[in-house]
């Protein structure tokens, strides 16, 4: 599932490729995706793309009429920039024809993705979200105030998009490993001296992955179809039984809120 580094990789690529371009045609092939668009997607026609923003795992394509085209990739969604006439893969739900005949295609086999055209004004889908994990305002003090108000274990806390937006299972596990904190520890019991290191571990993990174009297990590719290469740098995620790169104890797995957590029982306290 694409998390912040994967979505930001796509955002940067799209910002380069589609900013200033006009959408000339909309081929919407209605299939049941997550959520319901308040405005019909056909109304994307004749709009110019002004900017591509992101909040957490949401892409926000800003249009010249102040509307926003919101895209969430869900589990298997892809937003692919394609040359005119290039062969169509299966599971295409939307094709936007751009002003020089290139296309932007949304492909999603499992259909947990979301496409919405939103009227001007605040975006309701992200209104209840917390600060983006790569926002400059995500400081040690901000994290400290969030931790203090949480009764959840640290792992669940990091996955809670209403606290911090953008972190999913991979980067929650990896950030806790980097910070040497147990995923089971209650968020509000995080020692004060560990809050700065946890904030730094989150930001560094996300930035390191971003530098490698994200992590690809099987589905994720960027806007022109390239996988990310951060997989080989993962310390604990999906490495149950392998030696911890720091202390060499075997990486363990536990289930928290129905999701696998990978951690080192030797050096995460």
Should residue 179 be labelled a site residue for Zn ion when binding is judged by CB under 5 A? no
Residue 41 touching Zn ion (CB under 5 A): no
DSSP lists the bridge partners of residue 22 as 48
User: Is residue 244 close enough to count as binding Zn ion by CB under 5 A?
Assistant: yes
Task: Please tell me which residue in 11, 57, 78, 178 is annotated as part of the active site.
Answer: 57
Whether 259 is catalytic is: yes
Q: Which of 213, 208, 200 is nearest to 8 (CA)?
A: 213
- 175 phi and psi angles, rounded to 5 deg: -65, -40
List the Cα angle 269/4/10 in 5-degree steps: 155
Token representation of residue 187: 């968020």
* Choice between 173 and 264, CB closer to Zn ion: 264
Asked if residue 236 binds Zn ion (CB under 5 A), the reply is no
Concerning whether 8 is annotated as a catalytic residue, the answer is: no
Q: Is 264 in the site for Zn ion (CB under 5 A)?
A: yes
Q: Which is nearer to Zn ion, 142 or 184 (CB)?
A: 184
2 as an active site residue: the answer is yes
Residue 96 · residue 85 · CB < 8 Å: no
Residue 242 found at the interface with Zn ion (CB under 5 A): no
Looking at 3, 6, 8, 223, which residue is catalytic? 3
Looking at beta carbons only, is 157 or 262 nearer to Zn ion?
262
| Angstrom distance (rounded) from CA 226 to CA 229 | 9
Q: Residue 207 Cβ, how far from Zn ion at the closest point, in Å?
A: 22
163 counts as catalytic: no
What are the structure tokens assigned to 36, written together? 């319901």
Q: Which of 247, 250, 257, 269 binds Zn ion (CB under 5 A)?
A: 247
Pull the structure tokens for residue 20. Answer: 């200033």
Q: Does residue 193 sit in helix, strand or coil?
A: helix
Residue 250 sits in the site that holds Zn ion (CB under 5 A): no
Instruction: In angstroms, give the least distance from the CB of 264 to Zn ion.
Output: 3
| 51: helix, strand or coil | strand
Please report how close the Cβ of residue 43 comes to Zn ion at its closest, in angstroms. Answer: 53
Under the criterion CB under 5 A, does residue 180 sit at the interface with Zn ion? no
Measured in degrees and rounded to the nearest 5, phi and psi for residue 70 equal -100, 135
Q: Which of 97, 70, 74, 75 has its CA nearest to residue 11?
A: 70
What is the binding site for Zn ion (CB under 5 A)?
244, 246-247, 264, 266-267
- Residues identified as active-site: 2-3, 57, 259
């Amino acid at each position: 599932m694409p998390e912040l580094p994967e979505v930001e990789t796509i955002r940067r690529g799209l910002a380069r490729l589609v900013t200033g371009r006009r959408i000339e045609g909309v081929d919407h092939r209605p299939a049941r995706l997550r959520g319901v668009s308040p405005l019909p997607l056909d109304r994307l026609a004749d709009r110019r793309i002004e900017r591509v923003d992101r909040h957490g795992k949401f892409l926000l394509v800003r249009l010249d009429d102040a509307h926003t085209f919101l895209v969430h990739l869900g589990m298997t969604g892809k937003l692919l920039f394609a040359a005119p006439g290039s062969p169509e893969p299966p599971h295409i739900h939307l094709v936007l024809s751009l002003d020089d005949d290139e296309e932007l295609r949304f492909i999603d086999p499992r259909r947990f993705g979301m496409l919405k055209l939103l009227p001007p004004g605040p975006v309701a889908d992200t209104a209840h979200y917390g600060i983006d994990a790569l926002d400059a305002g995500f400081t040690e003090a901000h994290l400290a105030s969030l931790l203090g108000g949480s009764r959840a274990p640290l792992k669940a806390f990091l996955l809670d998009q209403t606290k911090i937006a953008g972190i999913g299972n991979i980067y929650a596990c990896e950030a806790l490993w980097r910070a040497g904190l147990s995923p089971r520890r209650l968020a509000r019991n995080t020692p004060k001296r560990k809050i700065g290191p946890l904030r730094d571990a989150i930001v560094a993990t996300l930035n390191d992955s971003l530098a490698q174009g994200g992590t690809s297990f099987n589905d994720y590719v960027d806007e022109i179809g390239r996988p990310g290469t951060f997989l080989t740098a993962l310390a604990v995620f999906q490495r149950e039984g392998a030696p911890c790169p720091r202390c060499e104890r075997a990486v363990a797995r536990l289930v928290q809120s129905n999701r696998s957590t990978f951690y080192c029982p030797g050096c995460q306290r």
